[in-house]
Amino acid sequence: MEACHKFSCVMLVQLNHTGIMANPDCGPAIGPSAVPTRDESVLSKEMTIDEIHDMQRSFLQAAIRAKKAGYDGVQLHGCHGYMINQFVSAKTNHRTDEYGGSVEKRARFCAEIIGMIRKECGDAFIISVRTTGIEPDVTTAIAVAEEYVKAGCDYLQVSTGIEWEDKSVTDCGEHYNKFCSLGVRFHEQFRGRIPVSCVNGINTPEKVKYLIENDLVDTVDLARAVLADPAFCEAVLNGTEYTKCYDCPRCQYGPFTPHKCPAGSGV
């Protein structure tokens, strides 16, 4: 942590539970409701209220450990079909108690975790949620995020979820794709309240600059771009050379490849 903090970097660690998406080797899958798992012939086990509260406490304890380890905050993984997302989606949450039904009730699982972390870790501890931008539409997803903000979320990082029924989500030309557009729309909603980040396909300095300089989002999330070359951020800031990510259908980067992407390096 000290190696990062000495460069004034803020460090968050992601907290996640896969829920109904869990590998069968890890034991029976659990989730908000009994629905098909990775093996569609097998249903997940519906969590009891006590099990929900135990899971929330597990998230809390993980956040407390992160703070003790020196992290500046945590990111709760609330998208991509994992447990928090499963509570949010009506497709996977069929409950009729306080954790199912309305948007507020489906958002409660994560909102309560946020409140618990805030109470135990203090106001200075950053709580981010990597949240779904469509569930099943952008309006509903924003309403879910509003519950997170009310609970004390500091930062929204917008990606994708389980359902995709909003036909208003489209690509925005060469500048950013439809996945990024979700973060842009969230930024319009939460502008001036909390920072919002977008993600997906942001693999050139020009795309980063367009999104930030036009005040379309507050930050961007990067993955393949910095895997292809850790110097990508310097290229954005200083205009220096970098090894480009070519967004290969099958990414050639891996733990046993050179320090930079072999495709972009011409290897």
* Residue 101 belongs to a domain: yes
The pLDDT-based confidence of 1 (bands split at 50, 70, 90) is confident
What does DSSP assign to residue 41? T
- On whether residue 133 sits in a domain, the answer given is yes
Tokens of 203: 């693999």
* Mean pLDDT score, 235-245: 93
Strand partners, 27: none
Domain assignment present for residue 249? The answer is no
Is 82 an active-site residue? yes
1 domain-assigned: no
pLDDT at 50: 98
**What are the DSSP E strand ranges found in 124-204?**
126-132, 155-159, 196-198
Q: CATH no. for residue 197?
A: 3.20.20.70
The answer to the question of residue 28 being in a domain is yes
Q: Please say if the pLDDT value at position 265 is more than 60.
A: no
Region of poorest pLDDT, from 45-49, 214-218, 261-265: 261-265
* Residue 267 predicted with pLDDT over 50: no
* Range of the structural domain that residue 223 is part of: 13-238
Report the 10 Å Cβ neighbour count for 258: 10
For 167-210, write each residue's pLDDT tens digit. 889 888 889 999 999 999 999 999 999 999 999 999 999 999 99
Per-residue model confidence as pLDDT tens digits over 70-124: 999 999 999 999 999 999 999 999 999 999 999 999 999 999 999 999 999 999 9
How many structural domains comprise the chain? 1
| 231 within a domain of the structure (yes/no) | yes
Does 132 map to a domain? yes
- 248, part of any domain: no
Which one from 82, 155, 176, 242 is the annotated catalytic residue?
A: 82
Q: Tell me what pLDDT residue 254 has.
A: 57
